[in-house]
Amino acid sequence: MSDARRQRKDLFEQWVEAGEVENNLAIIQSLSMQGKSMEEIADVFDITRRTLQKLQKEHPALEKAIKAGRLSVVAMCQNKLMERVSSGDTTAIIYALKVYGGDFFNDRKAVEAKITGTPVSVQPQVQIYLPERDSEVGDAREKKDGKNK
């Protein structure tokens, strides 16, 4: 990498230098709270989603702002859900039990298979019933056709 490229500051560092970092982090958190996608947040700052993701990895404060916005939406939704549970909304109650009630209330039961001991060979049990003598089969056919020996 050349010296000129190493010295070039990324967008976050430019915000810090210009004294805009706190304001821009607040904007990012607000956009995240509004449910905006990473691409929509990036568009506000005239960068690509990929650049925003790269900045987020390099600058924990940026990642924290995005997560804080998303978590506030989750908290708001949880509060609304609990209000509906408290008012006796059956659907909300069922949903809350599935989410917060653990495996007991979960429709999708996890099945854990454990193999212990030594393998056992299982043979299918098949029974075939045959007449006692071949002559009985012949006798039955002759009687059917009206012939006797």
| Tens of pLDDT, residues 35-70 | 999 999 999 999 999 999 999 999 999 999 999 999
Whole-angstrom distance, CA of residue 28 vs CA of residue 44: 9
pTM exceeding 0.85: no
- pLDDT tens digits for range 98-138: 888 887 787 766 556 677 777 666 666 666 666 676 555 55
Whole-angstrom distance, CA of residue 128 vs CA of residue 126: 7
The DSSP 8-state label assigned to residue 65 in this structure reads H
